[in-house]
Amino acid sequence: MNKTLLTLLLATPLVQAAQVQPQPPVQAAPPQAAPSQPQVPATPAESPELRAQILLDRAHFSAGQIDGQYGSNMKHALLGFQKSRGLAATGKLDPQTLAALEDRQPVLATYSITDADVQGPYRPVPESMADKAKLPALGFASIDEALGERFHASPKLLRELNPGKDFNRVGEQIIVPNVHAAGPIPPAARIVVDESDRTLSLVDTAGKVVAQFPASTGSEHDPLPIGEWKINGVGRNPDYRYNPELFWDAKPGEGKAMIKPGPNNPVGVVWMDLSKEHYGIHGTPEPGMIGKTESHGCIRLTNWDAAKVADMVGPGFPVILQD
């Protein structure tokens, strides 16, 4: 966040990836399976776009929030994947790309709602920074939002996949994207952020892109600082210090505020501090807007993509910002 001071807390993220471990299709569910153990649904209702988005997520060429719709983020994800595999760079779902994406694992799984899912706690997130500062944590506003973040999906998509299902009933079985079947990201040597297509890429020593994520990358008022920088450090679940004097779009009468950690914190669940003062790579409370809206100069990713990148970097890691 441009010209924003952050207190970095090196703590465990509030958002933990659910360990989805689908089983091969069987005639009947194993008697010993725990209620919360995800399994492959018998009749997955998947569109080609939804299937591709889940496979892209597992291949670490993210289309951002999974919604089953072909849009700009999905186009750039396909382009990045195609280039990395030496395929024709069309940005379209062609047979060769789908074949290269195939990892022989189900794209959908079933998940049983747990008591912890239902209990939350959940509370509405206020608009103003002053009201946000009154909360002990910036957690999820609803179970739909929490499940969407866990499975990298829009709440709307989850509802469409589960008509008539009660997300607030413990034991309810719902269909979810099987995003947690991904393998590890290959080692990377640098980060490259490209303003032209609003992506952040992890690149290896040979110059090959091994992962790519959609990003919001600045604005006319707060442009991306083009150049070569380094990661100073990584803070998980950071507090956020808001100073309206540093924001051109601050509302009249706003004062300074300290915002507590959580997935709805203005910088999400992780902050990667750059050697360019006041700039960083971070998460977001609005995953559906990544790659579609502007930022205050920083590089903004979905919380789950930011967490992936944070796992790959450390102090001194090179970052190239280009247009």
Active site residues: 282, 298
Bridge partners, 29 (sequence order): none
What is the token pair recorded at 130? 């002053």
Identity at 150, one-letter amino acid code: R
CA distance 309 to 314: 10
Bridge partners, 110 (sequence order): 39, 175
| Of 149, 66, 80, residue with least CA distance to 108 | 66
Which residue has 């990298």 as its token pair? 152
CA distance 42 to 27: 9
Tell me: cis bond preceding 121? Omega within 30 of 0 counts.
yes
Rg, the chain, Cα only: 20
**175, 153 Cβ separation under 8 angstroms:** no
In our burial notation (b when 16+ CB lie closer than 10 A, e otherwise), range 205-228 reads eeeebbbbbbbbbbbeebebbeee
CA distance 108 to 224: 37
CA end-to-end span of the chain: 19
Per-residue CA distances from 41 to 44, 138, 228, 289 (Å): 6, 33, 47, 30
* Alpha helices in the chain, H assignment, sequence order: 48-58, 72-84, 95-101, 115-119, 129-132, 143-150, 155-161, 303-312
Any idea what the Cα angle at residue 264 is, between residues 263 and 265, rounded to 5°? 95
